[in-house]
A and B are shown apart, each in its own frame.
Chain A
């Protein structure tokens, strides 16, 4: 045991020299930057739109009064449609089937006030810029200023359902939007903090 110690020492020394030769890293090899990398407004805008144009959000923002379902965005089964108050028809309403939370057994999704976004907030078929224009326009967004929009986008239980979409009728987890909920909330806050600028067309 004792005899092997000097040998081990030599081995460690040699290995150190060997690696030392190959990895001569100097501080000057790194690029220096004097301020943190800034995420451009345009990047933030597109991150936000990556989420808003995902089927989990878009399916309930139709421009044809028909809710959509699934990643393939097919029209809702059985001709269910908007109805007079965005929550279906007189007797067959969204909550005839959709309750306040997801149903793990039947695969029927649910969240508080399940229903469609108002027709004025229909987004399907619109460009990202057009969606943003509708989002910011108080005549189409239900009179919401920036503060109210941030509140809606980051706190509303039905909006945030997109990150807890449950399983479908076959027990398969529904796909979530491309950003995590925390990333999305940060992106919303940043875009509005930076003035909610829509990139030029």
Chain B
């Protein structure tokens, strides 16, 4: 089957045999965007989190057939080196990653959270950011999430709307 989707702003047409193929495989192996990670393959760890139409989705458990016509954002599309997304900027400032493997998933989950809750409380973070970090960087992540919210609110309104 053929699936049309937009990945990080670029329209893509992918030919795929099994419509239940995880979106994660298509992103990584067909479209060669390796920022999104495979951790557990059973929607348990969050390493594969990306945005589908601005909603956080665990792409290891999201069949490609549901992505038809959808807009996908991965860590590669969140910001650029020159113009990082507030979440990326905050992550750099707080030196969050240790091994780094889980981080793209956490950053995408955080980006999704800030769209819904621009100033998250610790409770909002506890409720919504439930990915797994084997290195235990949770403490720095919490600081970075608050920092990202602060950076976000410093952006001019039009920029915030783009986020």
Contacts and interface: CB of A to CB of B under 8 A. Distances in A.
B1 to A, nearest CB: 16
A96 B129 CA distance: 12
Contacts of A198: none
Contacts of A95: 55, 57
A81 interface: yes
A180 interface: no
Given A104-B20, A106-B60, A89 B42 contact: no
Given A96-B58, A103-B20, A106-B22, A91 B130 contact: no
Contact of B116 (A77, A90, A103, A169): A90
B22 A91 contact: no
Chain A's interface: helix, strand, loop or mixed, by majority? loop
Nearest to A100: B66
A79 interface: yes
Given A90-B116, A92-B129, A103 B55 contact: no
23 contacts: A77-B44, A78-B44, A78-B130, A89-B127, A90-B124, A91-B55, A91-B109, A91-B128, A92-B56, A92-B109, A92-B127, A93-B55, A96-B56, A96-B58, A97-B61, A99-B61, A99-B66, A103-B63, A105-B22, A106-B60, A108-B42, A108-B43, A108-B61
Interface of A: 77-81, 83, 89-93, 95-97, 99-100, 103-108, 169
